[in-house]
Structure 1
Amino acid sequence: MTYSKFLAGLVIFSAFGFLLWAGGYAYMSTPMTQPGRAIEVTINPGWNFARISQLLEDQGVIDAAWKFRLLARVKQKTGSVQAGEFRLHSGWSPEKILQTLVSGRAILYTFSIPEGLPWWEVATNAGETPLTTRERFAAALADKAFLDSWDIPTDHAEGFLFPETYFLPRPGGNDPYPLLRAMFRQFWDVAKNQLWPEGLPDSAEIVRTVTLASLVEKETALPEERARVAGVFANRLERGMRLQCDPTVIYGIGPEFDGNLRRSDLQNATNPYNTYRHAGLPPGPICSPGLGALQATLHPEDHEYLYFVATQNGGHHFSRTLREHNRAVRRYQLGQ
């Protein structure tokens, strides 16, 4: 081969290489359509890149699966795509689409749990999201092996579904456990860092605190009253008095409660949560208490009050004696 032919071949090869580079760069940076549209895509665990690329082409995110596979090979990202549900856009460049899939920025769904909900209301709310179903969530709450793996010291998750706003991707198969893991993780984070920073107490004390805090949570919605209500319960327990807490009776009735608490309900000794008939704390928490109620339970107000009754302004009147309490009941409940 003469030098001139070699030089000519080198020029042709270089030109071809440049065209390939230019074409590849143009593909990486050029959206399929403009302005494009948002497209939600679900990538299941275990899918290979060929299947993912074909899905993107079929749903109109990219124009050619083979080009997208070539791009991923060049970038060495064929094994880095995350499973999940993604909100992509046909107006994005293939490079941005690949970056989104690799980064794992999946669609996150919001689930908010307010303080004071019993487990069946939490389950209903969870079932109204794309994260799980009510039935699967409810069943998981009593999964003892799962509870033990998270050091939940009871046979049911009631009380440990920490009230918070959670952001999670949609799990496959309506799996309830990712949401429960997030709730338990939040509970233990709060317990270790804010409630007992010097070290967790034993399981019995944790259950006692959560149970009593759940009563405080249900009895008052006013932050400034929580420690005072906790002090009333502490005083009654110390004196051996029954707690006589309406919310515990209602919890024992369950989801069938019609909103009307009757005298017969207060006299029903078959209800294990009836603190009018049974001394001490109920068998377990009656809702998921928030941080404020938990802190109030650990640091109750030091006072001599033994009774309280709701007033018309959303708060409570606190009394030291039964005679004073009966006067408050006549005034605030009977209008006398």
Structure 2
Amino acid sequence: MKKWIVGIILFLLGLVIVATAIVLFCLYVPTPRSTDGADIRISTGTSTKQLATQLKEQKFISSSSVFIWYMRVSGRATQIKAGEYHIDQRANMVSIVNTITGSFGVHFGDVRVTIIEGMDSQQVFATLQKQGLPSDGVEGWATALRAERESELDVTLEGKPSATDLTGYLYPDTYFFKSDATAETIVATLFENFENHLTEERLAEIEKSSLSFYQILTLASVVEKEVSNPDDRAIVAGLFLQRYADGYPWQSDATVEYARKIDSDSTNSLYNTYTHIGFPAGPICNPSIELIDAVLHPTYTDYYFFLTTNDGKTIFSTTYQEHLNAIETYLNEN
């Protein structure tokens, strides 16, 4: 065999050995950290790439590229479990992956809480209370809801009045918390999960919209409460937007119910869309991302009225008389 061929083979073999050594070093040698250990919070919906960046920034791993590669080749990329974890100072990349995918280690978020689409902030708090959360009670919850919130996305808080709380931003999902989790930790987790669902595609659509993001979120929350059938969400979103353009009140029963819940004077409340023309003062619940999609992609029709039957069917009408007939047929029947 010619010497130059042998040289190339040896060179390539050397590259393989060096690359293997680097990968093994990243996988099995702990990254130097000054503390005895640290906690890490992983939000629901966090991608492997986002997690790699988070771990690298917090100096849990030495290479985000090796972490992403290992997650994929080991089949763990789809097994990330949201929650809070304690990472030991001596933990290497392999043990960290085992911990956050639930294979080994201790998962510190042992209190499971499910926030359902359409819950308002009071209902979210009541759900948390059933699990003994938050540790600082109702006062901590009220403070966390109204605290100034920093956002990594410029658009998230666009149009939100400073006096309003974070209703609308508490993303509905299943979470795992420590038993002593404070309201601030819980609200921050729900808010972070909300932002994680605002993909680049959605952000581009939001940027193109003539509505502020707070208006988009507000309308999404109203449609969430008004419509049961997913296929009708975009139609109802278009209906409300058409009424808004025409200067016609939304006349949403869901907004009246919310006004009665939070305002002593529900008749004159800015949430009451029978007496107040335009968008209500803010979101009336915490909608799912699908409702935001419906508002970003509304379906415009000739419909101007609708109702939801007791079995969840949406009945649309083009005229007020048709709407009255529908009420008589579907809601006033014995």
Going from structure 1 to structure 2, the CA distance change for 1:83 and 1:298 (only over 3 Å counts) comes to closer
Change (3 A) 1:199 1:214: closer
Q: Deviations over 1:119-170 (max 9, x none)?
A: 1111121222244133312321011x33678863533101111111122334
Counterpart mapping for 1:24-103 below 5 A: 80-82=36-38
Q: Which amino acid aligns with 1:146?
A: R
- 2:233 matched to 1:229? no
> Do 1:131 and 1:175's aligned partners in 2 also have CA atoms closer than 8 Å?
yes
Q: Which residue of 1 aligns with 2:172?
A: 163
For 2:253, the aligned partner's letter is: D
8 Å Cα contact 1:108/1:170 also seen in 2: yes
Q: Runs of at least 4 residues of structure 1 off by over 6 A?
A: 83-87, 201-204
Amino acid at match of 2:36: S
Which of residues 112, 115, 121 is equivalent to 2:114?
112
In 2 relative to 1, CA 199–221 (structure 1 residues): closer, same or farther, beyond 3 Å?
closer
CA contact (8 A) 1:306 1:321 kept: yes
Alpha carbons 2:217, 2:292 under 8 Å: kept:
yes
* Structure 2: gaps (5+ residues): 1-31, 41-83, 87-94
How many residues align? The count is 238
Q: CA offset at residue 244 of structure 1?
A: 0.2
Contact between 2:235 and 2:299, CA under 8 Å: does it hold in 1?
A: yes
Alignment match of 1:146 (pick from 142, 145, 149): 149
Based on CA coordinates, which of the two structures has the bigger radius of gyration? 1
What residue number does 1:36 align with? none
Assess, with a 3 A threshold, how the Cα gap between structure 1 residues 225 and 103 changes in structure 2: closer, same or farther: same
- Counterpart contact for 1:191–1:200, Cα < 8 Å: no
Question: In structure 2, do the counterparts of structure 1 residues 270 and 147 end up closer, same or farther at CA, with 3 Å as the change threshold?
Answer: farther
> Secondary structure of 2:149's partner?
helix
SS, match of residue 279 in structure 2: coil
The CA deviation string for residues 207-246 of structure 1, in whole angstroms up to 9 with x for no partner, is: 0000000000000122111111112112211211100001
Q: Which residue of 2 aligns with 1:310?
A: 308
How far, CA to CA, are the matches of 1:197 and 1:103 in structure 2?
40
CA distance in 2, matches of 1:208, 1:293: 13
Query: C-alpha distance in 1, partners of 2:311/2:213?
Result: 33
Q: 1:148 to 1:203 in 2, by over 3 A?
A: farther
The alpha-carbon deviation at position 256 of structure 1 amounts to: 8.9
Q: Distance in 2 between matches of 1:242 and 1:312?
A: 24
Report Cα offsets for 1:99-130 as digits up to 9, x if no partner. Answer: 98x96642432221111111111112122224
* Shift in alpha-carbon separation, 1:104–1:78, aligned structure 2, 3 A: farther
Contact 1:245 1:276 (8 Å CA) reproduced: yes
In the alignment, the residues of structure 2 paired with residue 199 and residue 245 of structure 1 have an alpha-carbon distance, to the nearest angstrom, of: 24
Percent identical residues: 30
- Please tell me the residue identity of whatever aligns with 2:139: E
Q: Retained in 2: the 8 A contact 1:244–1:276?
A: yes
Structure 1 runs not aligned, ≥5 long: 1-75, 88-95, 258-264
In structure 2, give the amino acid aligned to 1:219. Answer: E
- Corresponding residue of 1:181: 188
In 2: Cα distance, 1:77 partner to 1:273 partner: 51
Distance 1:135 1:230, change over 3 A: same
Contact preservation (8 Å) 1:137, 1:176: yes
* Matched letter for residue 229 of structure 1: V
Q: Which residue number corresponds to residue 60 of structure 2?
A: none
> Structure 1 residues 169 and 331, CA, compared in 2 at 3 Å: closer, same or farther?
same
- In structure 1, C-alpha distance between the alignment counterparts of 2:282 and 2:185, rounded to whole Å: 24
SS in 1 for 2:125: helix
Q: Of 256, 261, 274, which aligns to 1:254?
A: 261
2:296 aligned partner:
298
Distance across 1 between alignment mates of 2:115 and 2:201: 19
State the distance in 1 between where 2:118 and 2:157 align: 19
Letter in 2 for 1:289: P
